Structure 1
Amino acid sequence: MTRSSLWRPASQHEGLALTGLERDANLAGPGHVFAAPFPEDDVLARWSIVLADPDVRVDVVDGPDGLRAVAAYDAASLRQLFVRPESWGRGLGSAGVRRAVDAIGTGATLWVLGDNERARRLYEHLGWVPTGESQDSVWPPHPVELAYHWTGTTMRFLST
């Protein structure tokens, strides 16, 4: 089975599972950036909106104990990418980025926390370039997010 065949569309009823995946990935990664506790209700509400949006594609990978990865994207941007910490380093993040880029094409954008070094290294390794733009996150304490752009000429992937 290839990495790409692991992915499937998320169902409208997976908001709680997506919230848990996002929580686990954030607490293991950039958890030092946000004040505790994790805003479960707000994140669940956002996933409900995203899952109901016909312009957003949400693809997931199942694991033995729930969702292992998610990539959410629209016609212009990679909106969300999370991988369960115990699955880090197995190519799921790269595969999720590839799904989004294959759908979006040249000109794809994304926003990433400035302090999320792991994610920034992944994106830069795959050929994404910082644009120099920044904004404050909507989540308290409102850390800085950085914009990235993909030109379509430098994407590097593991084989899938």
Structure 2
Amino acid sequence: MTPRHAWRRATRDDALALRDLERTASQTGLAHVFGDLPYPDDDVLARWVLLLDDPEVAVDVVEDEQGLVVLAAHDGSTLRHLAVRPDHWSAGLGREGFARAEAAGAQRLWVLEANARARRLYEALGWTPTGVTQECPWPPFPTEVEYAAPAAD
């Protein structure tokens, strides 16, 4: 897949924008999971700072005049985070970010069990649930499901 957008590597200066993009996408797409609970701004920001400082993690982003549009955080084995600003949903950005993580070696990811939109994307790309679950670290602690890449032929 040839990217249609100008991707760049995020830096520590992007930490607040990454948190804000993740918050916007989560509050829009996962309101049925997190409801009116306060967003864990400080904890999520701290996580982004740690990820940006980790030399094993790449955080790729696309931005427009209003700020970050998409983020794809990955390491050599795992897609860590993928988020698209809601006003850009269905524009192919999630697929592009996913392809970047796969090209870098991602073979697994975790997704909220109740995140039907993301799960449809992953399954359309051939990824499947492994049957392994864990508890999300944020209240109300919903279940996360592990997905694995298709087996190589």
TM-score strictly above 0.5? yes
Deviation of 1:32 (Å): 2.1
Q: Distance in 1 between matches of 2:41 and 2:134?
A: 23
Match of 2:26 in 1: 26
Query: What is the TM-score of this pair, normalised by structure 1?
Result: 0.90
| Equivalent residues of 2:5, 2:62 under 8 A apart | no
Moved over 2 A (4+): 2-5, 151-154
Deviation of 1:37 (Å): 1.2
Give SS of 1:140's match: coil
Q: Which amino acid aligns with 1:94?
A: R
Give SS of 1:104's match: coil
Q: Tell me the matched-pair count.
A: 151
Cα offsets for 1:69-95 (capped at 9, x unmatched)? 000001110000000000000000000
For residues 31-50 of structure 1, the aligned pairs below 5 Å read 31-34=31-34, 35-50=36-51
Gaps of 5+ in 1: 155-160
Deviation of 1:3 (Å): 2.7
Match of 1:134 in 2: 133
The root-mean-square deviation of aligned C-alpha atoms, in Å, is 1.5
Gaps of 5+ in 2: none
Q: Which amino acid aligns with 2:7?
A: W
Match of 1:67 in 2: 68
Query: What is the TM-score of this pair, normalised by structure 2?
Result: 0.94
Q: Distance in 1 between matches of 2:78 and 2:4?
A: 19
Q: Distance in 2 between matches of 1:152 and 1:49?
A: 31
Identity %: 50
For residues 1-160 of structure 1, the aligned pairs below 5 Å read 3=3, 5-34=5-34, 35-104=36-105, 108-153=107-152
Give SS of 1:49's match: helix
